[in-house]
């Protein structure tokens, strides 16, 4: 049940960089989106405080090299009968979740398919889980506790009930190993689900999840995410804490001593200059990445001598928006943000 948090994970963050960030209906996931993330050392990570003027500092926590991705697709044919009204499906190769926007104001989950204790559990919600009850969603916005009911099919059958609630409970600055992000909001969601499986054998279980997701205009997906889960079945109890960092803004491994660069002009229209400084000879790759984590430009340079080099990147035809340059060599990577006008 590791991907029960599907919906908000995919919400885009637009807004003006120098104003409090808001989430609108235009920021919801669409077919073709992919969220890529890296797993963070979660042992001592705490979500931090609530309210305005917060500084959430996670720069000390190690970002691993294990990367995951969640693509958003049209509802696969195998699910269209059970989820005929869903507009998008999220999939992590093991589990699915299905979503739709109702009347332009309510973002809801229609159900999911999960692997639970070796069984396939397809939960079809007759009373859908409302994630966002209105837009725009900003600091102070909340979705009161919403009831969930439905049936279970697949290799099992039964019923499911539960609740979900969402609140934007904080705003401020987020400090990661790749830099500081201002005008960040935190969205907190609680999911409490009861499963009552009757076949192939009776079993009841509970799933509780408390997740914290930090958004800014720097990316369509969360910059950082903390997820606490508690699963209880007759087979045992499991408590898990997982932490993710947005791959596009954090990169594989930060090594500021070996990679140093600046971008100009910024904002840019047609041609971006990357001024690089190397302490020793390097083989370097350059990637220009959009807010979806997609590489829109890439180049490789081998045997670059120590010193300063300016590389020009042609951005003709690249759509306006927020992008990132990621430089990588054999020892690490560094990411910087820029804007295409």
Q: For position 312, which CATH number holds?
A: 2.60.40.3080
What tens digit of pLDDT does each residue of 198-231 get?
888 888 888 898 999 999 887 778 899 998 988 7
Last residue of a domain, one of 249, 284, 302: 249
Residue 1 lies in a domain: no
- Do 219 and 279 sit in the same domain of this protein? no
Residue 251 pLDDT greater than 70, yes or no: no
What pLDDT score does 281 carry? 82
Average pLDDT of the chain, as a whole number: 83
Residues 6+ apart with CB under 8 A from 106: 130, 132, 133, 134
What pLDDT score does 332 carry? 65
- Do 105 and 204 sit in the same domain of this protein? yes
- pLDDT band with cut points at 50, 70 and 90 for residue 258: low
Mean pLDDT computed over 15-35: 74
What pLDDT score does 171 carry? 96
Task: State how far the Cα of 81 lies from the Cα of 98, in Å rounded to an integer.
Answer: 12
DSSP string, 246-263: EHHHH-S-B-TTT-EEEE
Q: Per mean pLDDT, which range of 2-11, 95-104, 153-162 is the poorest?
A: 2-11
What pLDDT score does 34 carry? 84
Last residue of a domain, one of 232, 249, 266: 249
What pLDDT score does 255 carry? 45
Residue 2 pLDDT greater than 50, yes or no: no
- Do 223 and 261 sit in the same domain of this protein? no
State how many domains the chain has.
2
What pLDDT score does 19 carry? 63
Residue 125 lies in a domain: yes
**Which of 36-40, 75-79, 214-218, 258-262 is the most confident on average?**
75-79
**pTM for the full predicted model:** 0.70
- Do 305 and 180 sit in the same domain of this protein? no
Mean pLDDT computed over 316-327: 84
Residue 192 lies in a domain: yes
Residue 99 lies in a domain: yes
Residue 1 pLDDT greater than 50, yes or no: no
What pLDDT score does 58 carry? 92
What pLDDT score does 3 carry? 42
209: nearest Cα among 239, 250, 182: 239
Question: What burial letters (b/e) apply to 288-297, b meaning 16+ CB within 10 Å?
Answer: bbbbbbeeeb
- Do 193 and 284 sit in the same domain of this protein? no
What tens digit of pLDDT does each residue of 125-149 get?
998 888 888 888 999 999 989 999 9
Residue 179 pLDDT greater than 60, yes or no: yes
The residue assigned the tokens 């969205």 is 187
What tens digit of pLDDT does each residue of 51-105 get?
999 999 998 887 766 567 788 999 999 999 999 999 999 987 678 999 999 988 8
Residue 29 lies in a domain: yes
Residue 233 lies in a domain: yes
Residue 312 pLDDT greater than 90, yes or no: yes
Task: State how far the Cα of 219 lies from the Cα of 221, in Å rounded to an integer.
Answer: 5
Distances (CA, A) of 256 to 191, 261, 327, 335: 39, 10, 11, 10
- Do 234 and 261 sit in the same domain of this protein? no
Residue 325 pLDDT greater than 90, yes or no: no
What pLDDT score does 14 carry? 33
- Do 219 and 259 sit in the same domain of this protein? no
- pLDDT band with cut points at 50, 70 and 90 for residue 334: confident
Alpha carbon distance, N-terminus to C-terminus of the chain: 41
Last residue of a domain, one of 249, 281, 304: 249
- Do 110 and 28 sit in the same domain of this protein? yes
- Do 236 and 286 sit in the same domain of this protein? no
Tell me the residue range of the domain where 316 lies.
Answer: 252-340
- Do 79 and 27 sit in the same domain of this protein? yes
- Do 226 and 150 sit in the same domain of this protein? yes
- Do 56 and 186 sit in the same domain of this protein? yes
């Amino acid at each position: 049940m590791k991907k029960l948090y599907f919906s908000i994970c995919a919400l885009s963050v637009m807004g003006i960089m120098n104003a409090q960030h808001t989430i609108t209906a235009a920021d919801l996931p669409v077919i073709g989106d992919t969220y890529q993330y890296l797993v963070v050392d979660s042992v001592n990570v705490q979500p931090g405080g609530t309210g305005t003027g917060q500084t959430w500092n996670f720069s000390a926590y190690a970002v691993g090299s294990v990367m995951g991705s969640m693509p958003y697709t049209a509802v696969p044919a195998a699910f269209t009968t059970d989820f005929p009204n869903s507009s998008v499906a999220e999939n992590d190769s093991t589990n699915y979740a299905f979503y739709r926007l109702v009347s332009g104001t309510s973002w809801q989950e229609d159900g999911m398919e999960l692997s639970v204790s070796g069984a396939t559990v397809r939960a079809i919600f007759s009373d859908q889980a409302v994630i966002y009850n209105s837009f725009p969603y900003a600091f102070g916005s909340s979705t009161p506790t919403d009831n969930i009911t439905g049936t279970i099919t697949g290799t099992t059958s039964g019923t499911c009930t539960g609740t979900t609630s969402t609140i934007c409970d904080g705003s401020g600055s987020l400090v990661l190993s790749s830099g500081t992000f201002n005008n960040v909001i935190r969205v907190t969601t609680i999911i409490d689900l009861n499963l009552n499986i009757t076949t192939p054998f009776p079993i009841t279980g509970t799933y509780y999840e408390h997740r914290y997701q930090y958004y800014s205009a720097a990316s369509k997906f969360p910059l950082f995410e903390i997820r606490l889960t508690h699963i209880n079945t007759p087979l045992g109890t499991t408590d898990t804490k997982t932490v993710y960092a947005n791959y596009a803004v954090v990169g594989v491994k930060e090594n500021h001593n070996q990679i140093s660069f600046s971008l100009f002009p910024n904002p840019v229209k047609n041609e971006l200059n990357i001024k690089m400084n190397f302490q020793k000879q390097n083989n370097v790759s350059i990637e220009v990445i959009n807010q979806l984590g997609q590489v829109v430009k890439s180049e490789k340079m081998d045997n670059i001598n120590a010193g300063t080099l300016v590389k020009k990147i042609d951005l003709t035809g690249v759509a306006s928006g927020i992008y990132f340059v990621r430089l990588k060599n054999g020892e690490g990577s560094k990411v910087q943000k820029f804007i295409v006008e």
